Amino acid sequence: MKEKLFSGMIPVTRPYFNETEEQILIETIRSGWVAQGPRVKLFEQAIADYVSAPFAIAANSCTSALQISLEVLGVGPGDEVIVPSFTFVASANAVVHRGAKPVFADIDPATYNMNPAGLEALITERTKAIMPVDQVGLPADLDPILKIAKKRNLRVVEDAACALGSEYKGRRIGGISELTCFSFHPRKLITTGEGGIITTDSEELAKAARIIVSHGASVSDLSRHQSAKIVFEEYPVFGYNFRMSDLQAAVGLAQMQKLDEILEKKRFFAERYNQVFSSMEELEPPSEPEGIRGNYQSYLLRILPKAKKSRDEVMNILLEKGIATRRGVMAIHLEPAYRNRFGEIHLPETERAFKETIVLPLYPQMTVAEQDYVIESLKDAITF
């Protein structure tokens, strides 16, 4: 057993902050403009440029971004949206808050993403949209999903909460689907504390989303303040206060400078995990299908039944050793709110993954010594 040579808990993840974020926050505060303003606009452009999307609309969370996206597509009461159950509850919550019904799809056990092979059987006359999720940063198999959507006249909202920097067949996620939503929660590659963004190639959808995100106002505060004339806004639709602040966007701009470095460091540590775990019959490390490159937002490991300890037992052992972990991903259809409203359903691959997967520590500031301690502790936990 490798000795722990450092103090404190090894976290699942850790935001990658330094004086860059501190300085830009000081500058933003001193500017006097801390609500939605010029830095939000700059951050939107930075994301749009990075993913090669014509338009980006910032929001206060990815959940808000998903809800706005569904609204601009006209999803509402009586409609159905196909969404995987093996994802964070926010994906389905956005559907429910539109008054629509989430129809849960099972996953491909190799990728943990929506299995396109089962989609056609879930489509009904009420189906309005499909919501693929890029689980833990690995892009869903988008080509067949988009092909089915086009064939059946359905809309697509891609939940890419975890997938900034990931690539699908040579293209960055964010410039492929009709609407793509990212998260900047602290567990994501870059963070604004809380925050989200929508990317799209549709000027019409972008304009509608931008209005909804700010109370339904026809003109933004920034546009009014920058105008040489008095401008009065109108409120043609019922909107929300889903705006991102300039304080958040300032942090995002600093974080974008580090994105390539974060991607490189995460992949380095993920590949070290893969090298060890791929030779162990008790474990199944994550895989990347040909043409798909994830960002390793989280390191999702499957503990197979042949291990001497269950996933939950392993988590408890690691916690006692000062190593934080998380259950892999939730199964939304098993949660009380969804079972009570929509009844019992059975998704075998989702339920198996829900019981067997674990998220291990992975973050840019991680040291080789910390990772080696995690690896040796895990090996001890599953073999003794």
Q: pLDDT digit string (tens) for 201-224?
A: 999 999 999 999 999 877 766 665
Mean pLDDT of all residues in 354-376: 97
Query: Stretch 80-91: mean pLDDT, rounded?
Result: 98
Q: Which of 28-42, 155-169, 206-220, 323-337 has the lowest mean pLDDT?
A: 206-220
- pLDDT confidence of residue 287: 94
Least confident interval from 41-55, 71-85, 212-226, 255-269: 212-226
Query: Distance between CA atoms of 374 and 197, rounded to whole angstroms?
Result: 34
Res. 8 pLDDT band, cuts 50 70 90: confident
Tell me, what's the pLDDT at 236? 85
For the chain, domain boundaries: 19-256, 259-383
Q: Which CATH number fits domain 259-383: 3.40.630.30, 3.55.10.10, 3.40.50.720, 3.90.1150.10?
A: 3.90.1150.10
CA-closest candidate to residue 165, choices 146, 196, 131, 139: 139
Question: Looking at residue 225, what is its pLDDT?
Answer: 63
Mean pLDDT for the stretch of residues 187-197: 98
Q: What is the pLDDT of residue 81?
A: 98
E strand or H helix at 73:
none
Which pair of structure tokens corresponds to residue 145? 């999903």
| Residue 143 phi, psi dihedral angles, 5° rounding | -55, -55
Please give the share of the chain, as a percent, with pLDDT higher than 70. Answer: 96
CA quadruple 142, 334, 182, 303: dihedral sign: negative
Q: The whole model's pTM is what? A: 0.95
What span, in angstroms and rounded, lies between the C-alpha atoms of 131 and 100?
A: 13
Closest residue by Cα to residue 183 from 159, 166, 155, 208:
159
Which positions are catalytic?
188
The topology (CATH level 3) of 19-256 is: Aspartate Aminotransferase; domain 2 (3.40.640)
C-alpha pair distances (Å), 26 with each of 23, 126, 135: 5, 50, 35
pLDDT band with cut points at 50, 70 and 90 for residue 363:
very high
